[in-house]
């Protein structure tokens, strides 16, 4: 549903065109220094504006509405609130009758019996990821000194994508992308078998991000073509350092102290300017739909900080869970 | 941790060489007919014995220990119990000093401060999946008439794998594989955004299965090289039937009524007969380890029924969650 | 922690003197008509102003920040937001050194290592119950046509309390009270043994309300002095109607279709004008503390709508859980 | 449902007359020494045999089925298994038509649509508490050096109960009782506001025990008749020691470092030999029911170790949760 985590638990709310959106962070340890400025860097990375992203520009400054006192977290729930502005709701009303292919227009309608908010994708909007990125800023502080770096490897299958991006924008079409996330400094012993393996926890939250359709850890899908003698990572020292990283830093669902590595498949943006076929629920016929309006030609360009934040949220929870059972001593 | 699900909640326990293993199924609706024979087919599919699988043979018949009365589920927790037999624990003691590459020998030791049961992989053993398969039999009954079919597409990168399998067994090496799961008959509207998308829920439980290193839905990683105009699935009728299946039957994290499709990457079995390098914690040196004993040259051969069961468990829970909020009427 | 419920899940945040407080309602079924006016009656009942309650007056109108569209719930999280005004924070700063007896000044400090917000009790303030009452309004709609009625039976041990209240206010002291909650129209079959009995679920949330120190169902503590032949409620018809109500409408943790009845013990308000002894952490001595400022001489006067709301929240979740497992049919 | 706890999570299963019953303990820290003998003392305290308890005698020795290796917990789920013997199922079949007043015969039938196991109360049997007591033994080890003591204060309203007990047995009637639980050595800072106050957590699990109908902390219901100046506990030193214990060791839902105290109301055993009125679902008439068979004239005599175990389970979880957020340091 709309919360994630066992100890460090985030609960989000909001729609693209409603009055506000935000996220509650429960289980946040007290005493973490936090100011509004801490959010600037990651929110800017997520922001639209560069070539291939939507021209909808907002000054997204989080309001620290609770759980903070004299510049530090208090231990009470932290609420990060954003107000929506610059919404143009008139663009979206007709998608109730003619659902856009690739979007949640139809499934949202089916799931919520027609009561869902269709404006700007409502609760399914990519704008919701703004809250994730903000929560990730706090999660990264909990994880300190663990560091997480996500970057785009390919757009439209190309590692040099300027040309294909320009051409695709010109054609009113869209592109997908491939991202890579590397986590360094993570100690061995995180992850909670059987069901809450590191891969399980990370994939759960990563697949919550709109447009993600695949994830692989370490060698991933290429491991299906390797021999065991190639894939197994030789262990080199008492810290568990391995010669290769085919396991992506995870054995038996538990971090092994090496760098954690995974890759994420991002589908092409569903919103395109080209005409598409869809069913018209009013006329009962398949029709051609042409969608105007602001959107990203390549949402993958904006997703790396979202992946990073989601990763941080899941790992912060695994860290706190790990702490819960390692401190007890018995005589 | 060792339970999964919100309403239909499974909780497992057991080790490879302990007295018993099993799984509790809570939240199971009452009145489902169930006998021990219902488990025969799926447990046999998972069983070892064919070429490329371990010669450890056990008669794995589940004991229905609770939650059943006069051949039907009662609504109380269902306990499916298996006793371990035919264990050869002497094989495993030395892996505490010289952890096997690719296994959880080292991470299990690190996580549990040396108190983990090392015999046969202990709680990390693939034998634990026996309980999953048994639970899946019940989950499939809850899901009726939804049907789930999993099959192996490739072993070692080959769709015709007899030859490569024989050669690899001869070389005392191992192979990975690629599996595909198709779910038909699933209604639109399942899945709980934001965090419990269908992809999130399925990937969470699939990555709990040992040896899984990747998952992709619909077009998956190939979607990263597609244009939006290619990837978007045109909608054809009032039931939401689509012309193509690039989304894998899921939009916005919610089932769209079409077939659900995902593929899973299975790494090569970690246990190999070939010598490998590992660190010896007693001598403090990197040494060559040669592992004898019974194991699967290709664990992928036995994983399809496990994937199918895990899928059924996750979907059964999504079905019950779905039912919880759709029944209420308001005047 | 700060969320409650399995399907209908509420997550609250906020402090007495922070910028805002509120509550997210997840799992709320779509299509429930809801306007700001719906909150007026219950919020007014909770409001201060009558004799024996704090003179802090606020216009508490909830902002429906998400999860609502065209006057109906959408199925996405509903966010009910309140802004704080009329705060007088200067009153509270010294309670860090000299914690007030009966309050959470000291335990909040200990738990959160001194980082808690002390202003107005911070996250421990009774003001937090404003969010509960607002969430209760929605929960009651989910429960329709079940009705819940809470009333005060006694104040300071008296069923006619005008006199004792006046005298206690005059003495700058405070009073406790005894409340009764009756739930009618609840069908048989709600409650989830073993651990989520109706009593377990209700007591869990009722004890979250500040100042509650006891709860009893049906005959409750007086049952300890009854014989089984007196206490057992004779069953009279096919609907399970009973001749007496000693079980409080619950057998084996499950509602039996009769009226549910419980009573709640509310301690006297901790804030009193009379001098009290406490430890001064700065001087290291036990000192006399005199507390000025606005507070309720009898918080019990304002608690009935809070008990009612908490009850509604817990029951709404039990209703949705009940629905999740009763709909499945098996051929 | 049938599991309790966030980190230290217990999941139980089983019926009175099924093949076995037991409990899984997940999240148990590794390295705790544990043998079957550790269970002897508490299980003997719960055992029947003394005057006023059922003559059903069983040798209840737990089988440690998983999660233990070389005499210590491993960190994997601990499974405590009991086999049922000495069952006399013929006694119970007719209670489907004529449900016993006070029992869950009718509510169990209603909840589970007639599929529940009626033999010996099935999953509603007091025998299920055997698993709780066993789990409590492990929980107490996690809590070390916290100590919990539960004792019976009254039976049938008398603090000297030999006479009333004899007379009630003679009359084929039954008695209730009042128990008190004291917890010493518990540090300040446990409990997780808002919803998981110490009182919330304890009452949740205590009300899961069959026959419990009330709970009060500290002064409890008598606090409703006290003034604030009487009820507030003066703070005496830097450890938070208080002069009185009216709050029962809990302020704002958080332990304050003093002894924790609560009392529990236990209703008279529902099973009595005297004739009672109930509805006959077959004949459609109210009839007189006389119940023979083995049962406890006063179940309260056997409940103190169950209360103690339930308390230990809830507190062990609160301890592990507490540890999860107190270890993180931030520079």
pTM above 0.95, yes or no: yes
Other CB atoms within 10 A of residue C211 CB = 23
**How far does C288 lie from chain B, in Å, by closest CA?**
50
Is the pLDDT reported for residue C114 higher than 80? yes
Q: How many CB pairs under 8 A join A and B?
A: 363
CB contact under 8 A, A113 and C65: no
> Is the CB of A117 less than 8 angstroms away from the CB of C31?
no
Rounded to the nearest angstrom, the minimum Cα separation between A132 and chain C is 15
| Eight-class DSSP state of B268 | P
* Residues 6+ positions from B1 with CB-CB distance below 8 Å: A192, A194, A195, A196, A321, D7, D9, D26, D27
The answer to whether the CB atoms of D203 and C220 lie below 8 A apart is no
Domains recognised in chain B with CATH numbers: 3-326 (3.60.150.10)
* Cβ separation B7–C321 shorter than 8 A: yes
DSSP-derived letter for residue A91 is G
Please give, rounded to a whole number of angstroms, the shortest distance from the CA of D107 to a CA of chain B: 13
Task: List pLDDT tens digits, range C29-71.
Answer: 999 999 999 999 999 998 866 787 776 555 678 999 999 999 9
* The token pair that represents C321 in the structure block: 């859980």
Using a CB-CB distance cutoff of 8 angstroms, which residues of chain D are in contact with residue B111? Answer: 75
> What is chain A's pLDDT, residue by residue, as a tens digit (331 residues)?
999 999 999 999 999 998 999 999 999 999 999 999 999 999 999 886 678 777 655 567 899 999 999 999 999 999 999 998 866 666 677 888 999 999 999 999 999 999 999 888 899 999 999 999 999 999 999 999 999 999 999 999 999 999 999 999 999 999 999 999 999 999 999 999 999 999 999 999 999 999 999 999 999 999 999 999 999 999 999 999 999 999 999 999 999 999 999 999 999 999 999 999 999 999 999 999 987 766 789 999 999 999 999 999 999 999 999 999 875 444 3
- Asked if residue D99 has a cis previous peptide bond (ω within 30° of 0), the answer is no
Predicted confidence (pLDDT) per residue in D145-203, tens digit: 999 999 999 999 999 999 999 999 999 999 999 999 999 999 999 999 999 999 999 99
A188 → closest Cβ in B107, B196, B208: B107
Say yes or no: B13 contacts chain A, CB-CB below 8 A.
Answer: no
Distance (Å) from the alpha carbon of B85 to chain A's nearest alpha carbon: 22
Q: Does A6 touch chain C (CB under 8 A)?
A: no
D117 touches chain B (CB under 8 A): yes
Q: Does B284 touch chain A (CB under 8 A)?
A: yes
Q: Which of residues 216-275 of B touch C (CB under 8 A)?
A: none
What are B49-104's pLDDT values in tens digits?
A: 678 777 655 567 899 999 999 999 999 999 999 998 866 666 677 888 999 999 99
> Which tokens in the block code for residue D219?
């002064």
Tokens found for residue A275: 């005409």
* Mean predicted confidence (pLDDT) in C88-100: 78
pLDDT at position C268 is 98
D142 phi, psi to nearest 5 deg? -65, -35
Mean pLDDT across chain C:
93
Least trusted range by pLDDT, from C3-12, D227-236, D321-330: D321-330
D4 close to C (CB below 8 A) = yes
CB B138 within 8 A of CB B28: yes
**Cβ contacts (< 8 Å) between C35 and chain B: which residues?**
none
Q: Chain C interface, mutation test: which of D191, D232, D325, most C Cβ atoms within 10 Å? A: D232
- Using CA atoms, how far residue C112 sits from A74, C89, D199, D323, in Å, is 7, 20, 19, 12
Phi and psi at C207, nearest 5°, equal -75, -5
Interface test with B, best of D10, D31, D69, D111 (most B CBs within 10 A): D69
Q: What ipTM did this prediction achieve?
A: 0.96
Q: What is the DSSP letter of C89?
A: G
User: What pLDDT does D139 receive?
Assistant: 98
Rounded to whole angstroms, the Cα distance separating D129 from D313 reads 13
Q: Which of C183, C157, C262 is nearest to C216 (CA)?
A: C262
Please tell me the distance from the alpha carbon of residue B119 to that of residue B99, in angstroms, as a whole number: 12
Q: How many B×C Cβ pairs under 8 Å? A: 65
Q: Each residue of C66-76: pLDDT tens digit?
A: 999 999 999 99
Q: What share of chain A is helix, strand, coil (3-state, %, to 5)?
A: 30, 25, 45
Q: Which residues in chain D have Cβ-Cβ distances shorter than 8 Å to A32?
A: 330
Closest to B278 measured CA to CA, from B268, B269, B290, B287: B287
- Nearest chain D alpha carbon to A74: D325
| Residues in A touching C15 (Cβ below 8 Å) | 66-67, 74, 76
Query: How large is the C-alpha radius of gyration of chain B?
Result: 21
Asked if B21's CB is within 8 angstroms of D11's CB, the reply is no
Look up residue B98 and give its two tokens: 């010289």
- Cβ <8 Å between A203 and B208: no
DSSP B232-262: S--B-STT--BS--TTTTEETTEE-SS-EEE
- Number of Cβ within 10 Å of residue C280's Cβ equals 17
Q: Does B111 touch chain D (CB under 8 A)?
A: yes
Residue D321: per-residue pLDDT: 97
Beta bridge partners of A20: A83
Closest residue in A to D320 (Cα–Cα): A324
Whole-angstrom Cα distance, residue B264 to residue B177? 9
What does the pLDDT average to over D220-236? 98
The secondary structure element, H or E, covering residue C65 is strand C63-66
B140 vs C328: CA distance, rounded Å: 13
Q: Which residue of C has its CA nearest to B325?
A: C29
- For residue B171, the cross-strand partners are none
What pLDDT is attached to residue C331?
33
Instruction: Work out the minimum CA distance from A85 to partner chain B, whole angstroms.
Output: 22
**Among candidates C21, C30, C79 on the partner chain, residue whose Cβ is nearest the Cβ of A115:** C30
Looking at residue D329, what is its pLDDT? 44
Q: Is B3 on the interface with A (CB under 8 A)?
A: yes
How much is the pLDDT for A48?
66
Q: Which residues of chain B have pLDDT under 70?
A: 48-49, 55-59, 86-91, 293-294, 327-331
């Amino acid at each position: 549903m709309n919360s994630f985590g066992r100890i460090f638990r985030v609960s989000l709310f909001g729609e693209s065109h409603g009055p506000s959106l935000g996220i509650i962070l429960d289980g946040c340890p007290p005493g973490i220094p936090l100011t509004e400025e801490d959010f600037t860097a990651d929110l800017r990375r997520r922001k639209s504006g560069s070539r291939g992203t939507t021209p909808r520009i907002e000054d997204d400054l989080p309001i620290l509405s609770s759980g903070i006192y004299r510049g530090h977290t208090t231990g009470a729930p932290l609420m990060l609130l954003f107000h929506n502005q610059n919404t143009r709701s008139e663009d979206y009303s007709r998608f109730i009758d003619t659902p856009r292919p690739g979007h949640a227009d139809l499934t949202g309608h089916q799931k919520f019996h027609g009561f869902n908010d269709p404006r700007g994708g409502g609760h399914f909007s990519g704008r919701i990821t703004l809250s994730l990125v903000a929560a990730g800023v706090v999660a990264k502080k909990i994880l300190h000194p663990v560091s997480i770096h996500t970057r785009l490897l390919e757009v439209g299958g190309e590692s040099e994508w300027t040309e294909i991006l320009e051409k695709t924008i010109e054609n009113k079409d869209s592109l997908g992308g491939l991202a890579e996330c590397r986590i360094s400094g993570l100690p061995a012993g995180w992850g909670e078998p059987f069901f809450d393996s590191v891969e399980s926890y990370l994939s759960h939250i990563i697949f919550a991000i709109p447009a993600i359709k695949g994830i692989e850890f370490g060698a991933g899908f290429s491991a299906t073509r390797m021999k065991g003698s190639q894939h197994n990572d030789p262990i080199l020292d008492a810290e568990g350092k391995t010669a290769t990283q085919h396991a992506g830093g995870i054995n038996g669902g538990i971090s092994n102290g090496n760098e954690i590595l995974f890759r994420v498949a991002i589908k092409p943006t569903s919103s395109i300017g080209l005409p598409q076929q869809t069913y018209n629920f009013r006329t009962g016929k398949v029709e051609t739909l042409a969608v105007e309006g602001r959107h990203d030609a390549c949402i993958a360009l904006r997703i790396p900080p979202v992946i990073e934040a989601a990763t941080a949220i899941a790992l912060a929870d695994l860290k706190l869970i790990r702490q819960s059972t390692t401190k007890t001593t018995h005589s």
